[in-house]
Chain A
Amino acid sequence: MKKNTKTTRVIPGFHLTLGITIAMLSLIVLIPLASVMVKSLQLSPAEFWRLITKKNVLYAFGTSIVCSFIAAVINLVFGLILAWTLVRYDFKGKRILDGFIELPFALPTAVAGITLSKLYSETGWFGKPLAALGIKVAYTHLGLIIALVFVGIPFVVRAVQPVLEKLDGQYEEAAYILGATPAQTFFKVILPELRPALLTGFGLAFARGIGEYGSVIYISGNSAKEHTQVISYVIMQKLNYIDYASATAIAFVMLVISFVILFLINIVQMRQSRRTNML
């Protein structure tokens, strides 16, 4: 409420762009998603509950959420290290490394999926030596987590990088002069500044992981018995069996989960911008 809300807008095109944006958003995104919501709400609560609490559905939810969470935690650690290295240090080949961070965004998920599955299968470059050590990766939860680390890593790195670049060196100098050890400086001065960016990256990687399909279905093996089915796979399976009631009910729960995560990320970001505005 800084200005009188009745001020005329100087720049033209407000109504036109507002109209186009809302019309296209509604047609392409909102109405189709609303259709899923409405369809799932047509089920009676008891039926809805029965469909989403079927054993294999619950296992799939558990697998998706737990594996995505573990992968997001791994990405949080490595994402921070990668962002730190790429921003703070200068070394040969840094730009190429930086470029590779983009690979999971640029590579089609199905291609990533078959490649990882092949690499970690018992005849693959990684799978063979690991199998010799007695570690089975492909068609296990471990494989699933590796695929999710692959797709999630750029989210954390790209969220942290810009913040780290802008971070003022003064604070670190002040901490140093006041006698803080490097570890103290990092945990008490730098990390708190990075927390919103880290949380955003974590949230994005986690949300992406829960809904991930193409990159995980090949390496996971999709076994109901071993609980390696992810929730997206179960929806696709229901669609193929024309079991639309189950598919929409599961999708409804997933939509709620992603909206909650999206909402939390938004809160983190709003707090962050409020803080930077105050500074």
Chain B
Amino acid sequence: MTEQEKLERQSKRTRMILIAVSVLFIFLMLVVPLAAIVVNSLKEGFGFYIQAITTEYVRNALKVTLIATIIAVVVNTFFGICAAWLLTKFSFKGKQVLATLIDIPFSISPVIVGLAFLMTFGRLGWTYPAIRAINQWLGTNFRIAFAIPGVVIATIFVTFPYVSREIIPVLNAQGKDEEEAAALMGAKGLKIFFKITFPQIKWALIYGIILCTSRALGEFGAVNALSKTRGETFTLPLEIDALYMSGTDVSITSAFAVSSILVIIAIIIMVVRNILEHRSNKKMEKGEA
């Protein structure tokens, strides 16, 4: 019995140590930085805070950021649903390769993304002659690199797999029996999707869209290579960079003030993920009972 007691005491001690290490790690590495943003942004008072987040530059950056984010989310949601449908409802040759290719944007440096679009649409890019010809023909001055279209397309690239990645596991777990049954009974594609598939993926889709939104709002490296005009094509993260790099105490506080806008969104994401996770755990317990 003493052996048993000793073991129990030992495991209790391990538990205490591991919880302490975890709490300490999360507190120092994650909680304090978050708190630091809030404290730093309010350093010069609330009046200054409001002033800092409503300058001409910030408003314009917010506009560009929102345009890029909305387009990226719409495009990637559409793509995500198509790709998830393809990869979970059918089996075909090269499926694994396709799945890997879709995940490429996860593992590529954002700076390389910016470079890739410069090489494609910039002055040295291979589509440049075509763009110039179209512009001459229409008498316009349409540009992709160093203009808003470039910002938009880079944002789409970096957030490309976010929605599909969240839906695919759910659909895989669900199988395709119900859809097959519906199809055999004569239901059309869209009807099957909205009546059967959509209810299953609803929460995963919402979470994917939220993740995609957060990443799109915060994209920095790729856009940094493609956008050089402050007040015109700058997004919020670029504006934050410009303010921080100015280096004065006041501008650094402004940088944190602008950052706090993006932090609010980050917190929303953490909360929603937590709720969704709790829901799915509950569902699983119910299913097992």
Contacts and interface: CB of A to CB of B under 8 A. Distances in A.
Interface of A: 9-14, 16-18, 20-22, 24-25, 28-33, 35-36, 39, 78, 81-82, 84-86, 89, 91, 95, 97-112, 114-116, 118-119, 124-126, 149-150, 153, 182, 204, 207-208, 210-214, 218, 231-232, 235-236, 239, 244, 247-248, 251, 254-255, 258, 261-262, 266, 270
17 contacts: A11-B189, A14-B89, A18-B86, A35-B116, A36-B112, A39-B119, A85-B18, A99-B273, A101-B30, A107-B266, A109-B110, A111-B37, A150-B30, A213-B224, A214-B220, A232-B111, A262-B100
B200 interface: no
A24 B185 CA distance: 32
Interface of B: 7, 10-11, 14-15, 18-19, 21-23, 25-26, 28-34, 36-37, 40, 75, 78-79, 82-83, 85-86, 89-90, 92, 96, 98, 100-120, 124-126, 153, 156-157, 160, 176, 179-180, 183-184, 188-189, 192, 211, 214, 217-221, 224-225, 236-238, 240-241, 244, 252, 255-256, 259, 262-263, 265-267, 269-271, 273-274, 277-278
Given A107-B218, A244-B124, A115 B33 contact: yes
B218 A103 contact: no
A100 B27 CA distance: 9
B141 to A, nearest CB: 21
Contacts of A106: 211, 214, 265-267, 269-270
Nearest to B15: A89
**Which 4 A/B pairs are nearest by Cβ-Cβ distance?**
A108-B218, A211-B109, A106-B266, A213-B221
Nearest to B110: A213
A24 B267 CA distance: 31
B274 A149 contact: no
Given A182-B7, A244-B118, A29 B269 contact: no
Contact of B176 (A11, A12, A14, A18): A11
Contacts of B270: 99-100, 102-103, 106
A9 B88 CA distance: 13
A100 B30 contact: yes
Contacts of B31: 100
Contacts of A108: 214, 217-220, 236-237, 240, 259, 262, 266
A258 to B, nearest CB: 5
B91 to A, nearest CB: 9
Given A108-B217, A214-B220, 7 more contacts: A17-B86, A18-B92, A35-B125, A98-B277, A107-B218, A107-B266, A239-B115
Contacts of B33: 103, 112, 115-116, 119, 150
A115 B196 CA distance: 45
A212 B86 contact: no
A105 to B, nearest CB: 7
A208 B78 CA distance: 26
A251 B192 contact: no
A24 B266 contact: no
A165 B126 CA distance: 50
A89 B240 CA distance: 40
A255 B108 contact: yes
Contact of A35 (B92, B102, B126): B126
A17 B273 contact: no
A89 B18 contact: yes
Contacts of A207: 107
Nearest to A239: B225
A207 B98 CA distance: 20
A110 B219 CA distance: 8
